[in-house]
Amino acid sequence: MDNRTNRKRIVIIGATSGIGKETALLFARKGWRVGIAGRREERLRELQEAMPEAFVARPLDVTREDAPGQLAALIRELGGMDVFLLSAGIGTQNPALLPEPELNTARTNVDGFIRMVTAAFHYFKEQGGGHLAVISSIAGTKGLGVAPAYSATKRFQNTYIEALAQLAHLQRLPIRFTDIRPGFADTDLLKNKHYPMTMPAVRVARKLVKAIEKRKRVTVIDCRYRILVGLWKCIPRWLWERLPVK
């Protein structure tokens, strides 16, 4: 018997580095078949060559209109999809409020997010069920003055997944949703920047995998950030807008 037919299958978009890459490796070591996608083809190839029995790879850019077609091709090559995880995202500090960084962030975190999440939703609708997970951020809790587009797009992602969960319920679709909200992680996103309580990407990935396996609806990683988010939510708007948050 070919054991591949009995293995769970996950597709991870944004698996070329950071949390996405570490998550892909963890699922592969657990015996899953893993479809990996991202813009950097050479990094995808390195992962696939390291564990050819576990990985199926395909270059994909969420900002391109052909991305849903590339996702469909990857799912076919993988033999189906039980879990979809969107890890692709960008962000930058932009206190000067230059328009191009803001627009680039929106192209990936809003346009690209919608493009890939709706494609996964329709796949699971046709299949008759599945698990749709995304990596957003605690930055969506409050508007951050040093990173307006990043915090706004992460709030958008939180709300969009909430809306899809309601839509699936209204349409009686057995689709589960997980919104993963990490704190600061040591990834390319924070390269050359210093933040308190920064976590190694592999630590975030371990907790992320557990959240998906337990089918949690929303999870904040980790306990320190759960406390921080709780405190942020208690701060009234008038006070928050006067705080020197950097």
Residues 6+ apart with CB under 8 A from 213: none
At 184 the pLDDT is: 83
Catalytic residue numbers, as ranges: 150
Q: At residue 240, what are phi and psi to the nearest 5 degrees?
A: -55, -45
Residue ranges of domains in the chain: 3-240
According to the CATH classification, is domain 3-240 in 3.40.50.720?
yes
At 188 the pLDDT is: 56
At 192 the pLDDT is: 54
Which residue reads 């990407």 in tokens?
A: 201
pLDDT digit string (tens) for 66-124?
999 999 999 999 999 999 999 999 988 899 999 999 999 999 999 999 999 999 999 99
pLDDT digit string (tens) for 183-225?
887 765 555 555 667 888 999 999 999 999 999 999 999 889 9
DSSP 73: H
Which has more pLDDT, 118 or 6? 118
Q: Indicate whether 242 pLDDT > 80.
A: yes
2 — pLDDT class (breaks 50, 70, 90): very low
At 183 the pLDDT is: 86
Rounded to a whole number of angstroms, the distance between the first and last alpha carbons of the chain is 56
Looking at the DSSP bridge assignments, the partners of residue 85 are 12, 133
Tell me if the bond preceding 222 is cis, omega within 30° of 0: yes
Sort 223 into a burial class: Cβ within 10 Å, 0-12 / 13-18 / 19+. exposed
Please give the share of the chain, as a percent, with pLDDT higher than 90: 85
pLDDT digit string (tens) for 128-185?
999 999 999 999 999 999 999 999 999 999 999 999 999 999 999 999 999 999 988 7
pLDDT digit string (tens) for 19-59?
999 999 999 999 999 999 999 999 999 999 989 999 999 99
